[in-house]
């Protein structure tokens, strides 16, 4: 799971790059060319929440953000990058891990969420403890079970790195590496991760046909699920207790951890369902390994606590047919273009761990 990829340890890599390009008589300038990167609001999407006017996405800012995203330099021992737990092929989640392992294989307590459509997200993390995308990366960098470093130390490492000195100057027009610039560059990369071209989107646009089962699933979804998983983002950004049973040991109190309110006990952020078929396992602690298990949960599998969402309090059932139709529909939310988009792909030299 350790990443061998690190951007330009000191000057070795940049030197190698020069040597290689001279030797090959060929211009190779990793990271990959970021041509004409612009943020485009998909048709039917609301206005973004992220203040793009304060941090307009540029080719060089995005390119820098991408290098940072894929670089283990953000962690204490260089082994963990953002991409360790946010893998493009899985809509930037850590597929197959109920909770992610960070530095030295330390385990967290929550399932890593997809990074997609963050420009519309009002809060971050399962408990919404962070309210600004620019501030989000500090949490995994400083979390002892994730990257276990300190932001000031990371900035120091970047400041001493020639390659980063060049990338920051290119991105921001003047020399200098500081927290604002680093966080803004990461935000530029992250807001570009827009998923809005699934089969569902094309069906809505009249460019695609749905099978009868998918159509039935869509109708059911609109009736039963869409009040919380509200299209087009498939979340209403609220915090709710969907009746996932608290663990007897190490109970995660969820939103209440932030608000300190009893009524928020066991509430977690309603996740977007875009690309849901690619992002197993499910729920805040990744307890369900399949969509079938998720459907079974929503078939009266709720653990009754005082804060259980009212919608589940008076019984909420799904028939076997309903479950199959819903799963068929949920699979239409997979966005192949998003998970294969070259612009978001790892830069050359990146080795993905397990």
- Binding region for other proteins (CB under 8 A): 51, 54, 122-123, 125, 128-132, 134-135, 138-139, 141-143, 150-152, 154-155, 178-180, 183-184, 237-239, 257-261
Integer distance in angstroms from the first to the last C-alpha of the chain?
5
DSSP 8-state class, residue 254: B
* Smallest distance, other proteins to C-beta of residue 65, A: 14
Q: CB-based contacts of 274: which residues, under 8 Å, 6+ apart?
A: 91, 114, 116, 117, 195, 198, 233, 234, 333, 335
* Smallest distance, other proteins to C-beta of residue 179, A: 4
Measuring CA to CA, which residue among 58, 333, 334, 346 is closest to residue 191? 58
Count of CB atoms situated within 10 Å of the CB of 19? 10
- Rounded-to-integer distance, Cα 80 and Cα 93, Å: 14
Q: Which is nearer to other proteins, 54 or 342 (CB)?
A: 54
- Is the Cβ–Cβ distance between 52 and 191 less than 8 Å? yes
- Is the Cβ–Cβ distance between 275 and 333 less than 8 Å? yes
Q: Which is nearer to other proteins, 50 or 350 (CB)?
A: 50
222 phi and psi, to 5 degrees? -60, -35
* Smallest distance, other proteins to C-beta of residue 317, A: 30
Token pair, residue 274, equals 């875009």
* Smallest distance, other proteins to C-beta of residue 90, A: 24
3-state secondary structure of 163: helix
Token pair, residue 270, equals 């309603």
- Is the Cβ–Cβ distance between 163 and 30 less than 8 Å? no
Q: Which is nearer to other proteins, 185 or 244 (CB)?
A: 185
Measuring CA to CA, which residue among 137, 140, 177 is closest to residue 157? 177
* Smallest distance, other proteins to C-beta of residue 328, A: 32
Residue located via tokens 């992610």: 100
* Smallest distance, other proteins to C-beta of residue 237, A: 7
Q: Which is nearer to other proteins, 169 or 197 (CB)?
A: 169
* Smallest distance, other proteins to C-beta of residue 134, A: 5
Q: Which is nearer to other proteins, 1 or 151 (CB)?
A: 151
Q: Which is nearer to other proteins, 145 or 311 (CB)?
A: 145
Q: Which is nearer to other proteins, 269 or 323 (CB)?
A: 269
Q: Which is nearer to other proteins, 68 or 91 (CB)?
A: 68
Q: CB-based contacts of 330: which residues, under 8 Å, 6+ apart?
A: 217, 221, 273, 276, 277, 291
Bridge partners (DSSP) listed for residue 241: 308
Count of CB atoms situated within 10 Å of the CB of 279? 24
* Smallest distance, other proteins to C-beta of residue 139, A: 4
């Amino acid at each position: 799971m350790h990443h061998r990829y690190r951007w330009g340890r000191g000057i070795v890599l940049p030197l190698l790059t020069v040597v290689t390009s001279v030797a090959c008589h060929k211009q190779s300038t990793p990271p990959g060319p970021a041509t004409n990167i612009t943020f485009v609001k998909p048709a039917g999407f609301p206005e973004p929440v992220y203040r793009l006017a304060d941090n307009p996405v540029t080719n060089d800012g995005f390119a820098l953000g991408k290098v940072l995203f894929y670089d283990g330099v953000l962690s204490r021992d260089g082994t963990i990058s953002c991409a360790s737990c946010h893998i493009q092929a899985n809509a930037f989640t850590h597929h197959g891990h109920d909770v992610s392992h960070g530095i030295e294989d330390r385990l967290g307590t929550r399932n890593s969420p997809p990074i997609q459509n963050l420009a519309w997200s009002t809060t971050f993390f399962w408990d919404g403890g962070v309210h600004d995308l620019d501030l989000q990366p500090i949490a995994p960098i400083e979390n002892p079970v994730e990257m276990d470093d300190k932001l000031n130390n990371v900035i120091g490492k970047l400041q001493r790195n020639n390659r980063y000195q060049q990338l920051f100057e290119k991105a921001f027009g003047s020399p200098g590496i500081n927290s604002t610039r680093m966080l803004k560059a990461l935000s530029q990369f992250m807001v570009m991760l827009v998923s809005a071209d699934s089969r569902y989107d094309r069906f809505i646009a009249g460019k695609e046909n749905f099978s009868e089962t998918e159509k039935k699933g869509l109708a059911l979804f609109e009736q039963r699920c869409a009040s919380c998983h509200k299209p087009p983002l498939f979340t209403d950004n609220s915090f709710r207790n969907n009746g996932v049973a608290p663990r007897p040991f190490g109970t995660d109190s969820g939103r209440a951890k932030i608000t300190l309110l009893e009524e928020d006990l066991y509430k977690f952020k309603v996740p977007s369902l875009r690309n849901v078929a690619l992002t197993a396992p499910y729920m805040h602690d990744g307890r369900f390994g399949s969509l079938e298990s998720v459907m079974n949960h929503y078939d009266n599998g709720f653990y009754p606590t005082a804060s259980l969402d009212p919608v589940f309090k008076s019984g909420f059932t799904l028939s076997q047919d309903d479950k199959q139709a819903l799963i068929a529909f949920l699979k239409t939310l997979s966005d192949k273009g998003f998970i294969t988009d070259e612009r978001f792909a790892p830069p050359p030299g990146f080795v993905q761990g397990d």
